[in-house]
Every structure is written in C-alpha cells, then in structure tokens.
C-alpha cells in the first residue's frame, strides 16, 4: 500500500480569482495544468476579459 504524501509535498498554484495558494487534489489529477481556480465560487467570480 502506498504511503500518504504530506500536504506540503504536493504541488501548489495561486488562484486566478482570489490570489490565494491552493494545493493539488486527486480529482484534478488528469487536468492539473488547466486548473486555474481554487473553488467553484472563484470560478464563478472569475475576472471578465474586457472586449475591445
């Protein structure tokens, strides 16, 4: 059986909406490079890109 990793050993990113750091989660394993937001709340409140 595999040993548990320490939370400090997991990769982290900074949320694009709130600016807080968040750690890798197992449910994000397949698409970690595309993850930008720490939660559904931040994803819903993402900054809109102004159209020019």
User: Rounded CA gap, 38 and 19, in Å?
Assistant: 9
The reported pLDDT for the residue numbered 8 is: 77
Q: What is the pLDDT of residue 52?
A: 57
Per residue in 1-52, pLDDT tens?
667 778 778 899 999 999 999 999 999 989 999 999 999 999 998 776 665 5
CA dihedral 31, 37, 41, 43 (to 10 degrees): -80
Quote the pTM value: 0.69
């Amino acid at each position: 059986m595999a040993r548990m990793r320490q939370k400090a050993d997991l990769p982290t990113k900074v949320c694009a909406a709130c600016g807080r750091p968040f750690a890798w989660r197992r449910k994000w394993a397949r698409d970690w490079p595309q993850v930008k937001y720490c939660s559904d709340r931040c994803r819903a409140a993402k900054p809109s890109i102004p159209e020019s």
